[in-house]
Structures are given as structure tokens and as C-alpha cells.
Structure 1
């Protein structure tokens, strides 16, 4: 999905991701879907707020779980943009309204990282369906243990 450098695109990205996940057998009310939507929201928000460049959102489903017809084993979310500036994790203090995005990604995803790509970069994260117990225990999509203390 192509994303314009406009904060209103974040809602559109969430809607697109919900549709893509549902079409892949991940029900909207599953904790996995809730977590993936939050990850999409954070990565797309970072791209549109911090780069000022268009971006491309991708959701990749790899491997298959016990139900080989519908259940992806690993879900990867990627956001690529043309800004060469690397992502910079911050630690927000107190009432700050920003600066928590990559901390959330780190706490919710099983893995995350970034790589240079052409003149820009690709930021990605992965959630394992089988290992989802590591980070998907409550209705908010994360456990207190999974998020590093602030």
C-alpha cells in the first residue's frame, strides 16, 4: 500500500491492514490482529511524521501453522521510505505525547530492525503466531513483561 506523507494516512493504513489480515485468516478480534494493527499504526506514523516522504506499507505472511489453509506462521510488517535517516528510538518522559513508537514496536514484536534500501530504508517487524504467547496475553495486545520498563 502506498502511503502519502500525511498523518491522515495512518487510519487508512490500519483499515487496509485489517482487511489484509482478515483475508489471510486472522480474525479482527484476535489479539494477534490487534497487535499487528498497532504495529502498522506505529511504523506508518513514524514514516509520515518523521520523514516527510511517501512510504510503502507491506504485510507479508510466511509459513503456515497447523491449519495450512488459513493460518500464517509469521507475519512481517514493513514500511519503506526514501529518507536515508535511520530510525532513532527515543525514551519519552512523563507527559510527552510522542517518542514511544519504537519502544512499543520493540515490546510487541518478536523481532524488528531496519536496513538501508537504495537512497532510503525499510523498517520491519515480525510477530510469530506460534510464539505469540511471548507478547500477546491481554486484550490490549501486550503483556507488561513484554514492554520494557520506562
Structure 2
């Protein structure tokens, strides 16, 4: 399934809503940590396409089909294709920067990510493994039982 994205920052919210609406038929509950991580990854990749290319893009989601036996373990894939041939470049954002952390978030949250040339442009993708079996707790639904944020330090300000 895919969604055409216009080069407009309002498209990021539309992409999140669209992705959330697709979760219901995939067997991924809206309250699962995997769902929230997936929506954050959609937001980051679509934001990068809109902000850094200024061109239309296509958001693609590959969600598990709950009718198949492989659904509980099938990875979830988010992909954004655009017509810019510029490679994605992770940045080192300073403490006061309001941007520049998108690919770092993708790197931290996704099990795998990468990019490849696609026609005159490129495709940036990431995958999340879904290791939980139906009926397991939501805490087990992401990263084979590990919290998405395990090992990260946070500072309250």
C-alpha cells in the first residue's frame, strides 16, 4: 500500500494518520509499542523527504497480513521514495538545533534501515521486527521483548 506525498509540511500529519489507519487490518494493535514506533518512523522519513527534497514522494508500508502464518514474525517495512538523487546524510545536531536528528532516530528505533537509488531518485527504508505471538503482552511486541528505549538516558528539563 502506498500514499502520494506532496512537498508540503502538512503532509507529515496526513502520512501519520494514513499509516495509523492501515494498522487495524494488519494485526498490529494501536496500543502496541510497535505501532507508536512505526508511526514515529513514518513521521521522520516523510519529514525528511518533504523538508530536504521539496519534491513529491511516495510512502509505502508493508504490513503483515494476519491471514498468513508468518504474520506474527513478519517484519514491518516503511519506505519513502522521492525524486531527489541526493543521498541521505545523517547529521550531528548541536544541543540547540531544532532539527537534524531524524536519521539518528531511525537508526536507533529501526532494526534495519538503508537507502538505494530508484529511477532518477532514491528510496529510504526501515524495518521493524515483530517477534511477539498473538496474545503476548504489549511489552513483548517490540524487539523480541526489549524496550525500544532500553539503554537510553533521558534528562528532565
Same fold (TM over 0.5): yes
Structure 1 segments, 4+ long, off by >4 Å, are 62-65
Q: Which residue of 1 aligns with 2:75?
A: 74
The equivalent of 1:27 in structure 2 is 29
Kept in 2, the 8 Å contact 1:134–1:146? The answer is no
C-alpha contact (below 8 Å) 2:72/2:131 kept by paired residues: no
Residue 60 of structure 1, aligned match among 24, 40, 62 = 62
1:123 aligned residue: 124
> When you count strand as a share of all residues, which structure comes out higher?
1
C-alpha RMSD of the superposition = 2.5
**The structure with more radius of gyration:** 2
- TM-score under structure 1 length normalisation: 0.85
Which structure 1 segments of 5+ residues have no match? none
Q: List alignment gaps of at least 5 residues for structure 2.
A: 133-141
Q: Higher helix share goes to which structure?
A: 2
CA shift digits 1:50-103 (9 cap, x unpaired): 0011000000135879x8386462100000000000101001110210000000
What is the aligned residue count?
142
Counterpart for residue 38 of structure 2: 36
Q: Secondary structure at the match of 1:47?
A: helix
